[in-house]
Structure 1
């Protein structure tokens, strides 16, 4: 099947190569025309002589032709902008007069009104400071503080009125009113100083100070209020007049600019329609005829600008399309042949893909079973490892018990040895006690003998030795009792010595048996340790088996996954083969449709 497939490919490639070569020639020619410059791309390909142009001619005339349309548009835009600029400058001139008038208003009446308002406010603060002197100036320090603030406000009022009187452009009558107000304010200051003297002379009596200046500030306040009202009315009137004049100027400027813009727009529309729209529409109609396959007519547009160059390019495109469709007609047969061969190759690929899918499915099933077996082995190995772990733990526990038993028996052996030593010491002490008893028994015998001799001597003495005889008798009795007791003690010590000897022999036998037990337990511990090592080796081998089984499972899963992916790729290839078959059918239909189009264009 692979050999047949390669044979079909080898037969298919030349046809595809011929088709690609024809398309490359056609595509290169189209790129040469679409780039906007007339090229010699059709030279040497069998085109008619009128399709070949010399590049040097267009390179020489290109600079001149590329400027004309640009100059027309730039001239139109420049004239429109110049006219709009003249109108804008005229409106700006009118508005600048209004701005100058408004600036004069700000620097004149409005500024004067602001200064009068400021002086009025400062005068009210001055009067308030006078009241602070009367009401809060109980002590000299407080009185001096508020009086200093009073004089400060008085100085500010005089300064503001002086600034208003010296302001440029102030009306003469207004300047006279301000000067009179300034003089009255200075006179008012003298009255307030007299009132302060009266207040101080009265010992800080507020009524005395207030009576001294009662009503003296009313004329100044009324005159200042009248001046404020006069300046406000004057500034408002001038502001209204300037605003009305500005509105009229803006209205006239807007009307003039709208009229000029309308005139410029109509002129530009007429020029654009004559120089651009009409030639472009003619070229559009000609290109539409070319798109319908009508190559008989040629565009006739004699202009020395870009549109003229576009007309020349359209005629060249017409000649090129005629030759291109002639070549496409020759390529249709190759396209149909290539589509047939592609369909046959797609059928072979579909069959091979189906067989590959079946084989891959069988391998995937086998890998699934192998993966399940490996998982079962891994599970049994894990169970064996757990059992080995449990046996290892039990052996370690038994080893610990044996070690504890060895320690206990060793301790017992040491205690038995200590007991044997004690009993041997007891036997030695018993022997020493027997020797002491022998001495005591000898002493008792000698005492008894001496008592007997003393009794004999007392009997010889007669009545004089009676008391001594009684004592000798008592001594003899004690000596006999001592001898009897010594004999009993000696008998007991003999029994103790016999028991101690038997106990030492028994303890020595138990010590020998405990040493044998220690040796046997030590041997059992070593055996348990070897068992533990063997169990650990078994556990390690089980773990290695489980690890190997898991790795085998992982590898099997990877292989299964890869097989699944291969199956998916095979399915995708099968779909692609189906799409290739569909594409080959479409290619055949495209060849038929291309034949019909070429026949229509040829007509």
Structure 2
């Protein structure tokens, strides 16, 4: 497995942070702090040397004032000033020297043999012409600091030295003094030792703070991490023992509250999922029965439509025969017997028509009763859809409360809510179709009743015609009129039969649409059943507490 920085422990990250803080301090110490301190010490020494030279410079000014007042001659003043400067000391061993602009050594307490000599050829241990550089410095600036190598009195080893020189113009003398850099190195060594001790103490303190942090923070967090892994594995009976009330303790209380709420949510979801599966099974079985019954009603309505169509054709044929009979009666009354036979056939047809109309009326009544049953089932499906939608909303709320652990339940809740909305939409469509079907069925029943009355009237007319045929000899014209009237009524009956057939076809098509809608409801219920099973499977992933028995979903037939 490839190592990644995110896999480091919190304690490791803490020590890394400590190292990142300490590393700049350790690097800053030799690269910036010590050089800056050394430079500051050198500047302080230069300022001290300048102040010291200014003090000794006042001696020469005092003797120059005596020359100006005539109290001393210049030679006397120079001798007394050189003697006083030669005896001056500071820092126990530090001294002053004097040379002139021609590099001649005027006074030096540790080089008396060289006093009066030209120092142009004098070189330090590094080959630097010290007095020549001093003369050039004061001629250019009047005063300033200069570095060179010199030997400490009583020692032969040359060491670096910082000096400050200043020109006393009235006499042409250059007054100077200096300190050895070795003293600065000693101070730097002492300061560096103190800084190292300070940095070490800070590091030890930080390490101690890290150890305390590990005991008080990292260890409880590790325990909380292990418990969280058990919860992620499905164990909702765990709890975190909290013995502090700091931020870590508050986190433990919040974790325990979250696990308790998650356990209650999972148990509620499992219970609701089981109930949803059972309800979906009942709805599916009822929808299958209703769909089968509706399909049978549709087939019966199709048969009624075919019978009515056949009846309409028979009525039309009867009307044609009645017309032919009227024409034959006008020309020859002897065909009255044939007309009588035609009337008898029409009467039988009309009787059959009456029976078919009665059967159609019974079918329409049964279709109306089935429509009422469908409406009740649709109301039941709509109520279940509403309860499922409320369940999805409650599940989404509990999932939102659970935070990251409840994201999966939020997704399931959204899917259940979508399914409930789809079921409600399908129920509304089927309810609309059912109402339309009921209206058309009612209209068809009314038409059937009217058709029955007209057929019964036709029977009566047929009977009257048969009576009239017996008196055909005496009233041929009356027979012609009645036969014409019979033909007209047959035409109207044929038109009514055709209209009734069209309406029955429409009712049959509506019943077919209802069958299709019921099949969609059955499919939606099957989807709801599958989603509820999946929801229960997700809930069953978390083991219940010891006092709570697991909920087993009912097994359903495929």
TM-score, structure 2 as length reference = 0.31
Pair member with larger Rg: 1
TM-score, structure 1 as length reference = 0.29
- Greater helix fraction, Structure 1 or Structure 2: 1
Q: Choose between structure 1 and 2 for higher RCO, CA contacts under 8 A separated by at least 6 residues.
A: 1
